[in-house]
Structure 1
Amino acid sequence: MAPPESWCEVGLNVRPNLHGLLRYPAMMVPKMQGDIIDAVLGVTGQDCRVLDPFVGSGTIMTEAIIRGLDFTGIDINPLAVLVCEAKAAIDAGADVNGAAKTVIHYLRTDIQETIDVEFNNRSKWFSDESAMHLSRVRRGIEQVADRAARKVLWTAFAETVRKSSNSRTSTYKLHIRKDDELVEGSRVASIFEDVLRQTLYRIEEYRKEHLAGRARKPKVRIICSDVRVAKLGKSAKQHDILVTSPPYGDNQTTIPYGQFSYLTLQWIPEIDLPAGWSSDHISNTHALDSSSLGGSKVGAMEKAETMKFTSPTFAAFVKTARNAGNTAAIQKVGCFTYDFLESLSQIRSQSSSSAHWILTTGNRTASGMRVPFDAICRDIVEFLGGKPIATLQRELPSKRMPSRNSVGEMITAEATLVAEFA
């Protein structure tokens, strides 16, 4: 089935209002996900809870609450959860305008030259001047009494860190910018104020367009946890709609969400990080990615054997890899798909017996072999009792994924599987 053209558009207009608060890695297309949710609602009715076990920056969450649907999201990354909490706070009516005035007034009066945060290699990623100005912004945000409004400000702060640190913005991995691309520390405050203005505009746009005529205020729960052990809690709804785009492989060789988040998480005070976050996950630049799906290779061959009985597609992949003497591919893909199976098993065990699942996946390259993750995902869904009812193929207009001179080849297409559980 071919997707509509609106699902393949690019540019700023693709991510309106809250969808564009932070340039988070590999964000989904809001229009596409919203259309799919609407199609499922046409069959199930409104008595549903929407789930996203890999919530990221909250594309699915935003599309769900726009429609007045209760939502539960999970992510191991504290920054992702914080951004989702910020969006939920905006939807709930947090006074962000008042909070912004407090911060701007503080920035006009703070002349301290202290640096409030230190961590390993801080001077590599932030000059002393940049760190001084970021410290002023940080102190300004701390002046805001309302924690919900602070979450929104920390999201603007995260975008400021992304734009002003010494790490390149052209990649989600931490790489030092070229000398002629470094941002002067004196520009930090103006960058923050510009991001804040854009944030306030997006909030106004969102509230005008989506809140006035909405029938009900949705219940939102965001869980900071490894999805493999997350507790969803009970829902009064009769039907669950799981909509997600899981990682396509281990973070270290696909998209390093942890590296992307590391610098910002060094700056945000612990009191404002989500409940359930672990300091171990931000102890170094690789810790969070190593704790994510496929990050550990312990018991790799045993996990691969388990997956062979779960997924015929994976079993065929292993046979091809063995014939090529590619043990590394078996171990890498086996660990990731096993962890992914555990994740979906955990969700299925806690969700409504009646459910629709919509999973968008892509096929990456691991150790020189193309991984048929879309077909493996389908096998896992069927193993858990789901019945596939449709598959949508979409060519990607652009995707910030590993390039040919990196660890893998470019992912150029995605598959969206729609399945139902009776």
Structure 2
Amino acid sequence: MNIRFAKAPLLSICLNSAKKAMINRAARTRLNSRIQQLTLNPPSSWSTVGAEARPSLHGLLRYPAMMVPKMQGDIIDAVLDSTGASCRVLDPFVGSGTTMTEAAIRGLDFTGIDINPLAALVCEAKAAVDAGADVQVAAEIVIRYLRTDIRETIDVEFDNRLKWFSDEAAIYLSRLRRAIELVPDQPSRKVLWTAFSETVRKSSNSRTSTYKLHIREESDFIKADRVLPIFEDVLRETLRRVERYRREHVSTRSRRPKVEIICCDVRRASIASDLRTHEILVTSPPYGDNQTTIPYGQFSYLALQWIPNRDLPVGATPEHLANTHALDSASLGGSKLDALEKHSVMAMVSPSFLTFSEAAIKARKEDALRKVATFSYDFFEALSHVRSQSRGSAHWAITTGNRTSGGIKVPLDAISRDIVEFLGGTPIGSLQRRLPSKRMPSRNSMGEMITAETTLVAEFGQ
């Protein structure tokens, strides 16, 4: 009797396991099919350029190397259609929040991580808009104050300030800074600091044709009395984008998502997890160390000098704002210390890295090899940490581009695939996208520029 009854639960477990496996196979087949369709017939919206390429909140700030919103949204939809599970979205290199906004549009809870305080601030501003911050009232407070402030004091000083802002321009920026500080609601202030940051980008003496801090020709300097009109134009555009986002997405959405933004090195971040929730990781990491690819820290430096510490994201550190290179040096691949040990690890993790290494050694490109080894290891460490923090079922979509180092192509797409497989992921497919336009030529002094991107889609079991 006891033996007979003991078999019933075991049979039920076996049947449930078989049913679950069958459901998982069907889900994988659906997602495979969807990825193949997107690969063979990529939507034209993936190549759209201009204002409509980044509508509503996507265009609040001209941040470097932003992802294509529609493409990330389509990838999220493909995973949602195949899993049918309760999902949350994660972006460990969140940047200005393209993935975050696409997740919010769909009512999905979201966690974003970035070491750059400006990136985290912009994401917090977008989350504030989604949560209903009264940006219109905040804007009216600022405009009223600017009509009355005639003080000629400069409220902020930092190294080489005069190189980037004349005294007269600094006076106008100080007035604007004081006006924003008067807004009592911090979420609304964060939206205004985003508009302020865009104003700094447009009005400083640094060229806007590059993300690095390069001085403009003196004949191209923006006149100081243009600072406030530039801000007012940016603010009007911000209010239009806020209104459009709320009209098109918030008013039609079934739930308000929970959003968490972590300003931290992703390798040290504490990421909350829930095994009952399926994770969708959608991200585009740096394509190499910031100092030789895109200097996100340099791009952010000037704006961050002007924003008060109390409104910077929790986790922003003075050390990262100390000079124009500090943030980039703290990012992935920013230090070449222990390059030999990192090389040894990556040679075991990634056959594709090993192939690059052999080519670099043969070509005697030791410095290039050290740069790629340290970045690849740091990237591996970041993804390992993310996976260790969330051991449940997941789909990952990682967009990368293959740059050159020392004249040798760095196969970051293949290295990413190797890392995912090493961590236990199963690649499902990859999407190719030609970059429709670039703000830089196809070659620069450091080698060929990136003209295509690959998005790897992979799955992890529980």
What SS is found at the alignment partner of 1:23? Answer: coil
- Percent identity reads 70
Per the alignment, residue 416 of structure 1 pairs with: 455
Residue aligned with 2:431, SS: strand
Q: Which amino acid aligns with 2:419?
A: I
Give the counterpart of 1:82 among 100, 121, 125: 121
SS of 2:271 mapped into structure 1: coil
Q: Deviations over 1:91-119 (max 9, x none)?
A: 00001000000000000000000000000
Query: 1:49, 1:237 within 8 Å by CA — same for their partners in 2?
Result: no
Whether the 8 Å CA contact 2:85–2:277 is kept in 1: the answer is no
Q: What TM-score, normalized by structure 1, do the two folds share?
A: 0.98
Structure 1 counterpart of 2:447, which letter? G
> How far apart, in 2, do the equivalents of 1:128 and 1:186 lie?
12
Q: 2:387 aligns with which of 348, 359, 362?
A: 348
Give how far 1:333 is off: 0.4
Q: CA deviation at 1:9?
A: 1.3
Match of 1:280 among 319, 323, 334: 319
> SS state of the match for residue 163, structure 1?
helix
Amino acid at match of 2:172: H
**What residue in structure 2 maps to residue 258 of structure 1?**
297
**CA 1:46–1:178 in 2, change beyond 3 Å: closer, same or farther?**
farther
Alignment partners' CA distance in 2, 1:72 and 1:187: 38
Cα deviation, residue 402, structure 1:
7.7
**Separation (CA, whole Å) in 2 of partners of 1:150 and 1:402:** 37
| CA 302–138 in structure 1, closer or farther in 2 if over 3 Å, else same | same
> What secondary structure sits across from 1:172 in the alignment?
coil
What's the CA shift string for 1:136-164, capped at 9, x where partnerless?
00000000000000000000000000000
For 1:153, give the aligned amino acid: L
* Distance in 2 (alpha carbons) for counterparts of 1:133 and 1:408: 40
Note the residue ranges of structure 2 that are not aligned, 5 or more in a row: 1-38
The answer to whether the 8 A contact 1:84-1:222 is kept is yes
Alpha-carbon distance in 1 for matches of 2:147, 2:274: 47
User: Which of 132-141 and 395-404 deviates more?
Assistant: 395-404
One-letter amino acid matched to 1:245: S
Aligned match of 1:367: 406
Post-superposition offset of 1:46: 5.3
Residue deviations 1:214-233, cap 9 Å, x none? 11110000000000111112
Q: Is the 8 Å Cα contact of residues 158 and 264 (structure 1) preserved in structure 2? A: yes
1:337 to 2:376 alignment: yes
Tell me if 1:314 matches 2:362. Answer: no
CA distance in 2 between partners of 1:305 and 1:401 (Å): 34
Do the aligned partners of 1:129 and 1:185 also contact (CA within 8 Å) in 2? yes
Q: Does 1:221 align with 2:234?
A: no
Contact 1:55/1:75 (CA < 8 Å) preserved in 2? yes
How far apart in 2 are the matches of 1:81 and 1:220? 12
When normalised by structure 2's length, the TM-score is 0.90
Range with greater deviation from structure 2 (348-357 or 98-107):
348-357
User: How big is each residue's C-alpha offset from its partner over 1:296-339, in whole Å with a ceiling of 9 and x where there is no partner?
Assistant: 00011110111000000011111111111111121110000000
Pairwise CA distance, 1:403: 5.5
Aligned residue identity for 1:288: L
Q: What residue number does 2:32 align with?
A: none
Tell me if the contact between 2:368 and 2:406 (Cα under 8 Å) persists in the aligned partners: yes
The residue that corresponds to 1:48 in the other structure is 87
Q: 1:250 to 1:316 in 2, by over 3 A?
A: same
Q: For each residue in 1:199-257, what CA deviation from the matched residue of structure 2 results, as whole angstroms up to 9, or x when unmatched? A: 00000000000011211110000000000111112347520000000000000000000
- Does 2:338 match 1:299? yes
SS at 2:448 equivalent: coil
8 Å Cα contact 2:433-2:454 kept in structure 1? yes
CA shift digits 1:24-49 (9 cap, x unpaired) = 00001101110110011001125111
Question: What's the offset of the Cα at 1:400?
Answer: 4.0
CA contact (8 A) 2:275 2:392 kept: no
Pick closer, same or farther for the CA change 1:338–1:392 going to 2, 3 Å: same
Contact 2:351 2:418 in 1 (8 A): yes
CA distance in 1: counterparts of 2:268 and 2:219, whole angstroms: 45
> Counterpart of 1:374 in structure 2: which amino acid?
D
| CA pair 43-401 structure 1, distance change in 2 beyond 3 A | farther
**Displacement of 1:405 after TM fit?**
3.0
What is aligned with 1:139? 178
Question: What letter matches 2:229 in structure 1?
Answer: S
Choose the corresponding residue for 1:290, options 311, 323, 329: 329
- Deviation at 1:17? 0.2
Which stretch of the first structure deviates more once superposed, 103-112 or 391-400? 391-400
The CA deviation at 1:10 is 0.8
Do 1:399 and 1:411's aligned partners in 2 also have CA atoms closer than 8 Å? no
Q: Which residue in the other structure is 2:15 paired with?
A: none
CA distance in 1, matches of 2:306, 2:398: 34
Which consecutive residues of structure 1, in runs of 5 or more, have no partner in the other structure? none
Amino acid at match of 2:286: P
In structure 2, C-alpha distance between the alignment counterparts of 1:121 and 1:179, rounded to whole Å: 16
Measured in 1, the distance between the counterparts of 2:188 and 2:85 equals: 30
1:401 Cα offset (Å): 5.8
* Alignment correspondent of 1:182: 221
1:248 corresponds in structure 2 to 287
Larger radius of gyration: 2
Query: Do the aligned partners of residues 95 and 169 (structure 1) sit closer, same or farther apart at CA in structure 2, a change above 3 Å counting?
Result: same
User: Which of structure 1's runs of 4+ aligned residues deviate more than 6 A?
Assistant: none
* 1:61 equivalent in structure 2: 100
CA distance in 1, matches of 2:392, 2:182: 46
Rounded to whole Å, the distance in 1 between the matches of 2:454 and 2:256 is 32
- Report which stretch shifted further, 299-308 or 157-166: 299-308
Paired residues, number: 422
Is the 1:255–1:401 contact (alpha carbons within 8 Å) kept by the matching residues of 2?
A: no
Identify if the C-alpha distance between structure 1 residues 189 and 301 changes in structure 2 by more than 3 Å, giving closer, same or farther.
same
| Residue equivalent to 1:30 | 69
Residue 97 of structure 1: which of 115, 118, 136 is its match?
136
Q: Secondary structure at the match of 1:253?
A: coil
Q: Is the 8 A contact 1:238 1:352 kept in 2?
A: no
Q: Which amino acid aligns with 1:228?
A: R
Q: Which amino acid aligns with 1:224?
A: C
For 2:258 and 2:457, locate their aligned partners in 1 and report how far apart those are by CA, in whole Å: 25
| Aligned counterparts, 1:150-161, within 5 A | 150-161=189-200
Do the aligned residues in 2 keep the contact of 1:401 with 1:411 (CA within 8 Å)? Answer: no
Within 5 Å, which residues of 2 pair with 1:106-145?
106-145=145-184
- 1:247 and 1:413 mapped to 2: Cα distance? 14
